[in-house]
Amino acid sequence: MNHLNGKVSLITGAGRGIGKAIAVLFGQAGSRVMCTARSMGAAESVASTIRARGGIAAACPLDVTDRTAATSAVSRTVEEFGRLDILVNNAGNFIRGRVEEMAPEDWDKVIATDLNGVFYCARAAIKQMVGQAPLDGVRGHVIGMNSGAGIRGFPTGASYSAAKWGMIGLAESLRGEVIERGVKVTEVVIASTVRSGMSAGRDVPKIEPEDFAETVLAVASFAPTVAISQIVVGQMDPQ
């Protein structure tokens, strides 16, 4: 059964890569999609693709590091579609650097996007979700796009790993606060490399964004009585 049909989704970082693939696939699955990105042009381009394929979509600019913009994006979604059922916290930033060499400004940029931005968007979404009428017994679903870096650190990835570990702690705490009010919280951990701007130049096997988006769709489509706390997505060894 398709549990996305008619639901409203807000995707952060939807202008390209994984976010774009998720937004397009959700639109094909019958969700009404609010595409957000720092560039309004990029967000609108993805929304246009969804509409061209018969789906329903709108776009708005969103820099997730701006708490006011996060609140505005949720408000814009509700104004456009009447509610918000699914938030996909996908927007991310990754700057490599050894701890003793990394500029504090670069550390702040990663934390601002990958942790603070997740908090701002989740906070705004939850305020809407807990007060709205449930669909199929569920008031909302917050999905976090995480990484293998969220369960193990690696050299030159301290800022990214710290943010992703923080996302898991945030999700665990948030889940305990909202599950009894009808809101699901799931972390999707990518324990592999997805082809994207962040993985450009890395000579390793990669999952295509469209393939990974299928996993996110599955997580969002589980039966209303099923709550997935965390799912780890790996990769088959190439033969």
Q: Which residues are annotated as catalytic? A: 160
Residue 138's DSSP bridge partners are 135
| Residue 62: closest CA among 13, 101, 116 | 13
**CA distance linking residue 14 with residue 147, whole number of Å:** 17
**CA distance linking residue 55 with residue 73, whole number of Å:** 20
Residue 218, helix vs strand vs coil: helix
**CA distance linking residue 138 with residue 73, whole number of Å:** 21
**CA distance linking residue 161 with residue 158, whole number of Å:** 5
- List, in sequence order, the alpha helices (H) in the chain: 17-28, 40-52, 67-81, 104-111, 117-129, 158-178, 209-221
**CA distance linking residue 18 with residue 190, whole number of Å:** 11
Burial of 236 (0-12, 13-18, 19+ CB in 10 A): exposed
